[in-house]
Amino acid sequence: MSDPTKKPGDEKKNILGVLKDKTAQLKGKLPGVHRPKNLSDKKNSVSNDLKNAFRHINPKKAVWSLIGAVFAIYLLTGLYVVNPGEQAVIRRFGAPQAQAVSEGLHYRLPYPIDTVEKVNVSEVRRADIGMTLPDHLHQPDDAPQAIQLLTGDENIITSQAIVHYKVSDATKFLYNVNGNSEQLVRYSVESALVQAMASTPVDDILSTEKVAAQNSVMALAQEALDRYDAGIQLTAFNIQEIVPPDAVSSAFLDVTAAKEDKETAINEANGYANSLLPQARANANKTVSDAEAYKAEQVSRATGDTDKFLSMLAEYQKNSNIYTADTTKYRLLLETLEKILPNVKMYIVDSANDSVNVKLIDESLSGNSSIGIGN
């Protein structure tokens, strides 16, 4: 601040001297203020020392420099840094500027003209619904409560879910809704769950419809958040658990078991059918092949028999030309009898009237087993 090279018009003065002058001026202007005349004399030795100590400083310049420095520092307070992933919103006298500021070093007019608020817009925030995530901090009045929902068929189920969201518009997020944003997200998701469950049968939600329900809940909740113009975008919604209440869980489990029982019974029956039918087909094939064998046998036998007959006939006709037909026949008869008779019990009876009382011969021959050869 010191300025050793002085302009010719400047008189060498020190700060105390200036102050004295000013005091004198003020005394002249403001009549109420009285200063004892001897004040400066009493402190003369001290003031002289101070004069000497600061004699090299030009007081006028020093004051202006000081004012300039303070003003420069004040202007410099307008510098601010927006971290990666953040957006900053500038309010000039309370009115937000249209464009949100992205990351980097920026300047705004210092307080109280411009104020800056920063929001992390890339962070994926979480809200836990129907449960408390262990690593998640909540506002004091915002602990999630266990959720019971009514399904379309008037069953009660309990549910736990997690929703992910992020800030889609920093200005809207900061200034449109008064309240805790996580609570707002939780409320809108809870309401969407109530709405979605009110039309869904309990069996569907426990099995096939979970994913569809997740999507419709997310859409409904987003709709509500858009209605509040909250600047919040839901990015994911996951039903962690959706189960019947403890009081009825065993009954629900039994239904699952019954479904499995049904499958088992059907599978067993299919197994039976699968073993029965191949067996039947095998038997059928055997029957048909047997029949084909029979057919072949009949035909072969007939062919054999007729071949034999035809050759006998040929011989017979040849012999009949040499001898007579009767003689040949008689010879064949005798040949047959020669084969048969040795094994046969034979009785020869003399009967005048061609009738024989067989009982006389053997009691056992009372049946049909007697053969008479007669003429």
- Pick between residue 69 and residue 265 the one whose CB is nearest to another protein: 265
Report 29-88 residues binding another protein (CB under 8 A): none
Q: Which residue, 322 or 373, is less far from another protein as judged by CB? A: 373
Shortest gap between Cβ of 185 and another protein (angstroms)? 11
Q: Of the candidates 8, 137, 227, 368, which one interacts with another protein according to CB under 8 A?
A: 227
> Which 79-118 residues touch another protein, going by CB under 8 A?
91-96, 112
Under the criterion CB under 8 A, does residue 368 sit at the interface with another protein?
A: no
For another protein, the closer CB: 49 or 362? 362
| Residue in the block written with tokens 């004091």 | 140
Please report how close the Cβ of residue 287 comes to another protein at its closest, in angstroms: 4
Class of residue 202 by CB neighbours under 10 A (exposed 0-12, middle 13-18, buried 19+):
buried
Tell me how far, at minimum, the Cβ of 216 lies from another protein, in Å: 12
Tally Cβ neighbours within 10 Å of residue 28: 9
What is the residue type of 364? S
Structure tokens at 126: 């979480």
Residue 163's beta-bridge partner residues? 127, 237
On whether the CB atoms of residues 148 and 157 are closer than 8 A, the answer is yes
- Least distance from C-beta 105 to another protein, angstroms? 25
How distant, in Å, are the alpha carbons of 5, 52, 57, 358 from that of 12?
11, 12, 9, 187
Site membership for another protein, residue 309 (CB under 8 A): yes
Q: Alpha-carbon distance 166 to 106, whole Å?
A: 24
Comparing CB distances to another protein, the nearer of 133 and 177 is 177
Of 200, 203, 192, 258, whose CA–CA distance to 227 is shortest?
192
Specify which residues 237 forms β-bridges with: 163
By CB under 8 A, name the one of 66, 74, 245, 323 that touches another protein.
245
| Binding map of another protein across residues 340-359, x = CB under 8 A, - = no contact | xx-xxxxxxxxx--x-x-x-
Which region, judged by CB under 8 A, interacts with another protein, from 30-38, 78-86, 102-110, 268-276?
A: 268-276
